[in-house]
Amino acid sequence: MKINSHIMSEKLKVLLFIAPLLIPLLAFWIVPFGWSIYISFTDWDYISPEYSYVGFENYQYMIEDSYFTEALYNTFVFSLGVVIPTVMLGLGFALLLHKNFRGSQLYRAVIFSPWITPTVAVSIVWSWVFETKSGLVNLLLAKVGIAPIAWLESGDTAMTVVIVVTVWQAVGWTMLFFISALNKIPTSLYEASLIDGCSPLTRFIKITLPLISPTTFFLIIVNMINSVQAFDQFQILTQGGPSGSTRTLLYLFYQQAFEQYDMGPAAATSLIILAITGVLTLINTEMGKRWIYY
């Protein structure tokens, strides 16, 4: 009896510690997840109380829906467009800045600063920079004699602008993770390579790159997940336009759910986003297990 009550009080103690997190996690993450799956099999329109079960119709419709396939393609283009320059620039800056020297902290802070600021506010600033009539970019182009480009109003360039803004915000954060990884490389390895007389380039390819590859991989995946979930800059700069050329999956979800109130298809779209981020996360954990050098 005494032992039993002891176990009970132990369990109660654990519950006391985990409940404050578990309650909101259940209410706003886990239960909604199951609920979304359920909604994705219905044709619910949010306003009317009745709805019917439609099976896989929302998912089947998706494949035929040109909006969906276009959004999937745009998400892909946007992710790659963001990830490649972000990781390359982040690594470049980290290589220049991972050793402390006079001014290195200032440079790090400056490069990181865009990450701190609200995406909405800085996207507004960028929307002025790329504005067709009075934007800075077109004014500068005019100085060199290039005709103004309708950056945000034309389907060919709008995505590029959103990518530029996103890379600008993400690069400092990526750099910090690379700095952390570069500083973990044991100096003895470099000393050995100096004795062997390696050129800086061979040293970079043979020592630095392999040793930071887990971090590189992590940063590629995390930046991809972040770009799949990017919304603020799209809403300010393009609203998915012109004519759907910057409509990503998340933006399509937003329009389906909160502009058209098609909750069924919207939930289905959100689950496709989940499938993408889920696969990326799994790849990340699997590769993380395999690639530990330090």
Partner 1 sequence: MSTQSIDLPLGNYQVQQQQADKKQKLAKPATPVSTLLKSASSLLVKHSFLSFAGLIMVFPFVWMLSGSMKSNDEIFSNPLNIFPEQFRWQTFVETFESAPFGLYIMNSFTVAFFTTLIVMINSAMFAYAITQLKFKSRTVLYFIVMACYMLPGAVTYIPSYITLANLGLLDSHTGLIISNAASVFGVFYLRQVFLKVHPSLIEAARIDGAGEVKILWAIVLPQCKAALATLFLITFITNYNSYMWPSLLITSQDLNLIATGIRQFFIAEGNYGLNWSQIMAASTIAVMPLLILFIICQKTILSGIADNGVKE
Supply the minimum distance, in Å, between the C-beta of residue 130 and partner 1: 11
| Strand-pair partners of 42 | 53
Among 6, 8, 12, 22, binds partner 1 (CB under 8 A): 22
1 touches partner 1 by CB under 8 A:
no
CA angle in degrees (0–180, nearest 5) for 172-232-123 = 65
Taking CB under 8 A as the criterion, the residue among 77, 129, 207, 283 binding partner 1 is 129
H-state helical runs in 26-157: 31-39, 57-64, 66-97, 104-116, 119-129, 136-143
Angle at which helices 263-290 and 57-64 cross, to 10°: 80
Q: Is residue 158 close enough to count as binding partner 1 by CB under 8 A? A: no
Is residue 194 within the footprint of partner 1 (CB under 8 A)? Answer: no
State the nearest-atom distance from the C-beta of 31 to partner 1, in Å: 7
Least CB distance to partner 1 at residue 209 (A): 16
Which of residues 181, 208, 223, 265 is near partner 1 by CB under 8 A? 181
Cβ 242 vs Cβ 155: under 8 Å: yes
By the rule CB under 8 A, 108 interacts with partner 1: yes
78 part of the interface to partner 1, by CB under 8 A:
no
CA distance 65 to 167: 30
Check residue 97 for interaction with partner 1 (CB under 8 A).
Answer: yes
53 DSSP β-pair partners: 42
Instruction: Return the residue of 41, 236, 238, 246 that touches partner 1, per CB under 8 A.
Output: 236
